[in-house]
Amino acid sequence: MQLLADYEVDTVFGMAGTMTVEIYRGIGRAGIRHVQCRNEQGASLMADGYARATGKPGVCTIIAGPGVTNAATGIAQAYCDSQPMLVLSGACITRTHGKGWGAIHELADQTAVTAGFTGFSAMVRYPEEIPELIARAYGIFRGSRPRPVHLSLPRDVLPEPVAAPWKTRRSPSLPMPDPAAIEEAALRLTRSTRPLILVGGGACGTREALTQIAERLGAPVLSTNAGKGILPESHPLSLGCSTVQKPSQQALAQADVVLLVGSQVAPGDHFLHELEIPGDIIRIDIDPNELTSRYRAAVPIQSDARAAMRALSAALAAQAAPARRPEGELWARGIATANAASLTDLEKTHARVWKILRGCLPANTIIMGDATQIVYTGSFAMPMEMERCWYYSGTYCALGVALPMAIGAKLGAPHRPVVAVAGDGGFMFTVNELATAVEERLALPVIIWNNDALMAIVEQMDQRHIPRIGVEPKSPDFIGLARSLGCHATRATSAEHLAQAVRDALGADRPTLIEVRQDSPWIAP
């Protein structure tokens, strides 16, 4: 734990257990803050939220066996969303491994459980292995595509003495772009007649270069959920995160060159098996696997996106290119108008709620969204002027993530407003973590969109003439439940009431649950 403190770890999320008590001795000695979750799933999701809000690895400490399997959802989500996370779990004593003796918390091969959704998963056999393994983890966090790392620490290894203090190791540098590839990309973009840009989470930090490139080319800019706000959505070339809307999808199909930066282009952002992108793709990504994926790159550039975009902007500035910004802005306005005209009645209802929330939230508010219909709509209906403010994991798409992620984010960035938005079904997955938020005295608005159903699945069943089985669970009294856990709570009765409740919650001495019912007449479009 002192080694982690030297790597600038200041907070760990966890649940103590028989096999991990020695870790807690270290936490106390190192002066690291410990946040007690109510379930290890909450610990991993809080660590994920902390990582997103701070840019530093989130750390969680969990027991072996059930702790690992409980935490698996948050670890897997961090893997899918390229977030840095260090998971320290206990493990059975080494002489029992693989024996099948029925040791407490036994898993036949604990490292294998998380191997498929971590950068690496390792069982520590000797204390001397730890500095190298931690350094390897930070190499992944800082020098490549971030992924979670899991270290299993056997109960009999943890108490062993160490002869001398461990030291941190320097992490490798991020990859830089190939100058020849940058020149080729600049030439193709200069010659293009209808360029378009699509940015994902890997493009965070590129705002200045992205703006220069888009304005020079007159290229509309689309984003994924993770890339939302990199280009302010008030910019006339911004199409926001509208990849799920057909007019934006059609624009991608019409572009002759697409600059694709830091994105997996996952179906969770567009709800299709695959987007149609027939034009040439110039692809910038830190992960070589993405550069050879199904979206074939005419010019693949493996690099940190910030360095590549700066280099590309400079290369474009050095070339004589026609001024096409007015033409691009006209195209972007047409796409945006068509997107607005395509909204369904339900999306209009959602959009009204987001408009109310946007009006009462500061620009730097972090919104943690769950897998729920109002958040799907929010991807394009909630405008963002800043990056790293909107989080919705459309790829892993787990229910129940919003609340614990918001807790982790608020603890990591206490100076920023943080809001959780969840549906009535998903909220019940992790409602227990309200107790954690109360204990930490977090000023956290938790907005529950209540339609008394797993509505997206209800609609699919109805469309296919399948009886509604297992999709209309009875909701509790959310107000009473929240108050019993020590929260403030209210049900929004008007647009003004919702806005005031959110403003009050941002300055409260504890979390505030705000229930918004879909059938409320005041939010009808």
**One fold for both 2-154 and 343-523?**
yes
**380 and 240 in contact (C-beta within 8 Å)?**
yes
The correct answer on CATH 3.40.1280.10 for the domain covering 2-154 is no
Cα–Cα distance, 140 to 127 (Å, whole number):
21
Question: For residue 320, how many other CB atoms are within 10 A of its CB?
Answer: 5
* pLDDT digit string, tens, across residues 90-124: 999 988 888 888 888 889 899 999 999 999 999 99
- Nearest 10 degrees: Cα torsion 447, 84, 51, 1: 130
Confidence (pLDDT) at 120: 98
Q: Tell me: pLDDT of 431 over 90.
A: yes
The correct answer on CATH 1.25.40.80 for the domain covering 179-340 is no
Cα–Cα distance, 21 to 42 (Å, whole number):
19
Burial 458-492, CB ≥16 within 10 A → b, else e: beeeeeeeeeeeebeeebeebbebbeebebbbbbb
Residues with Cβ within 8 Å of residue 432, at least 6 apart in sequence: 38, 39, 42
Confidence (pLDDT) at 320: 72
Confidence (pLDDT) at 98: 84
Q: Tell me: pLDDT of 430 over 80.
A: yes
Token reading at 305? 């996106």
Confidence (pLDDT) at 326: 93
* pLDDT digit string, tens, across residues 330-349: 999 999 999 999 999 999 99
Q: Tell me: pLDDT of 323 over 80.
A: no
Q: Tell me: pLDDT of 86 over 90.
A: yes
Q: How far is CA 111 from the centre of its chain?
A: 24
Q: Alpha-carbon Rg of the chain, whole angstroms?
A: 24
Confidence (pLDDT) at 187: 96
Cα–Cα distance, 412 to 440 (Å, whole number):
12
**327 and 226 in contact (C-beta within 8 Å)?**
no
Cα–Cα distance, 281 to 297 (Å, whole number):
5
* pLDDT digit string, tens, across residues 408-421: 999 999 999 999 99
Confidence (pLDDT) at 271: 87
Confidence (pLDDT) at 102: 84
Strands (E), 111-216: 120-123, 148-154, 195-199
Domain ranges of the chain: 2-154, 179-340, 343-523
pTM: 0.96
169-198 mean pLDDT: 96
Please state, for a pLDDT cut of 90, what percent of the chain lies above it: 92
Confidence (pLDDT) at 394: 87
Please state, for a pLDDT cut of 70, what percent of the chain lies above it: 100
Residues with Cβ within 8 Å of residue 314, at least 6 apart in sequence: none
Is 155 strand, coil or helix?
coil
What is the residue-wise DSSP string for 347-406?
A: HHHHHHHHHHHHHHS-TT-EEEE-SSHHHHHHHHHS--SSSS-EE--TTT--TT-HHHHH
Confidence (pLDDT) at 344: 95
Confidence (pLDDT) at 96: 85
Cα–Cα distance, 225 to 94 (Å, whole number):
43
Q: What is the CATH number of domain 343-523?
A: 3.40.50.970
Q: Tell me: pLDDT of 504 over 80.
A: yes
Cα–Cα distance, 193 to 52 (Å, whole number):
37
Which helix (H) or strand (E) element contains residue 435? helix 434-439
* pLDDT digit string, tens, across residues 281-317: 999 999 999 999 889 999 999 999 999 999 999 999 9
**76 and 113 in contact (C-beta within 8 Å)?**
no
- With helix as H, strand as E and coil as C, how does 33-58 read? EEEECCCHHHHHHHHHHHHHHHCCCE
Q: Tell me: pLDDT of 322 over 80.
A: no
* pLDDT digit string, tens, across residues 243-285: 999 999 999 999 999 999 999 998 888 988 899 999 999 999 9
Q: Tell which phi-psi region holds residue 442, choosing left (phi > 0), alpha (psi between -120 and 50) or beta.
A: beta
